[in-house]
Homo-oligomer: A and B are copies of this chain.
Amino acid sequence: MATRQDVAKLAGVSPTTVSRVLNNNGYVSQDVRKRVEEAIRELQFVPNRVARSLRTQKCGQIACITHGLKNTFYAEIVQGIEEVALENGYTYSIYSTSVENEKYINLILEGFYDGLIVLTSSEFNNLVDSKKIREVIPTCFYWDLGYETKLPNVAVNLKKAMKNTTNYLLDCGHKEIVYLGYPKEGIEGVKENPRFLGYVDALKAKGIEVSSDHFLFVSNWNDTLTAGYEKVRELLDRGVSFTAIAACNDLMAIGAIRALSERGIRVPEDVSVTGFDDVEIAKMITPALTTVSLPKKEIGHTLMKSLLRQMNGEKLEGKIQEYESELMERETVQKI
């Protein structure tokens, strides 16, 4: 592997000059530049990023924390992040929240990353002291918790989104609506989840009783197809009466639909179901899932752009951008 030294020797110039043409700063005469460029080509020289990082104290890499890519919701956000990262010469690593606390922190403190994007605020908050992390490394959060934070974040108005959805269900004549999704932790902390808040708000506004029989809570790290499936089976076993399910993500909704249809309950004829996220597959299943569309890629873009700004020295605080969502009326909801 050729080094800058080798190039310098071959071109008959000093290493500094090579740097200059490489980084396009300082003055280099046409003639010399040409010779250097030729030498670079001949030796197939590629600058060593590790050495450069050590010198410049920035390594052109960011870390991104998710809780697994199996929910394509995250995969799509990550795609958005990747696009603007690469455009700006950054690479990124992905970590799943499943990794233990300490490993993370060290990985991050090791100086191998210039910035950090956290897609799973709640788990991350439980794991580490976010404020502390932020002091050592520029950080941007995708914030989906129910309270405000000073941490730089981009968010979606989830409360409003779920309120809309619930209202839609209500307008379709549903009164017994099951909520399937996130609490923060247990029933007490539950108020902190914006989606749940939206659900409760909508019900109350129409004078409908909010019954804990209709709460199907799932922890944040377990918002999967299987969880949706099993929660609804349990619900069915309990014999609770309901005519609709409002899920907190599409995967859980799809799991719910499966549980329903295995018991011979038809969607939407017998029970209506709504999802959340509008993952690509939502419109491809039959019946196509009525769900809430979020601008996933844009979220990724904004997350990365905000991080970039911070890495350039800007101080950012609190909500940087709040996106709106859109209810996609498809085939899993029916008027009764």
Contact = CB atoms under 8 A, between A and B. Distances in A.
Interface of A: 1, 46-51, 53-54, 59, 61, 68-70, 72, 75-76, 78-79, 82, 86, 91-96, 99, 103, 106-107, 109-112, 136, 224-226, 229, 251, 254-255, 257-258, 261, 280-281, 283-286, 288
Given A68-B75, A68-B79, 5 more contacts: A46-B111, A69-B69, A69-B75, A254-B281, A285-B286
A75 B79 contact: no
Contacts of A61: 93, 112
Question: Which 9 pairs show the lowest CB-CB distances between chains A and B?
Answer: A69-B75, A49-B110, A46-B109, A258-B284, A49-B112, A50-B53, A261-B286, A48-B111, A69-B69
Contacts of A286: 257-258, 261, 285-286
18 contacts: A49-B110, A50-B59, A68-B79, A69-B78, A70-B79, A70-B280, A72-B72, A86-B99, A92-B93, A225-B281, A225-B284, A226-B280, A254-B281, A258-B284, A258-B288, A261-B286, A281-B281, A285-B286
Among A50, A136, A281, residue most surrounded by chain B Cβ atoms (within 10 Å): A50
A54 B50 contact: yes
A95 B281 CA distance: 23
Contacts of A106: 46
Contacts of A112: 49-50, 61, 91
Contact of A285 (B59, B70, B93, B258): B258
B261 A47 contact: no
Nearest to A94: B94
Nearest to A260: B286
A284 B255 contact: yes
Nearest to A258: B284
A91 B91 contact: no
A47 B258 CA distance: 50
B96 A93 contact: no
Contacts of A70: 72, 75-76, 79, 280
Contacts of A288: 258
Contacts of A76: 70
Contact of A91 (B75, B93, B281): B93
Given A86-B103, A111-B49, A112-B49, A136 B261 contact: no
A156 B301 CA distance: 36
Contacts of A53: 50
A54 B112 CA distance: 12
Contacts of A46: 106, 109-111
A136 B103 CA distance: 30
A110 B91 CA distance: 12
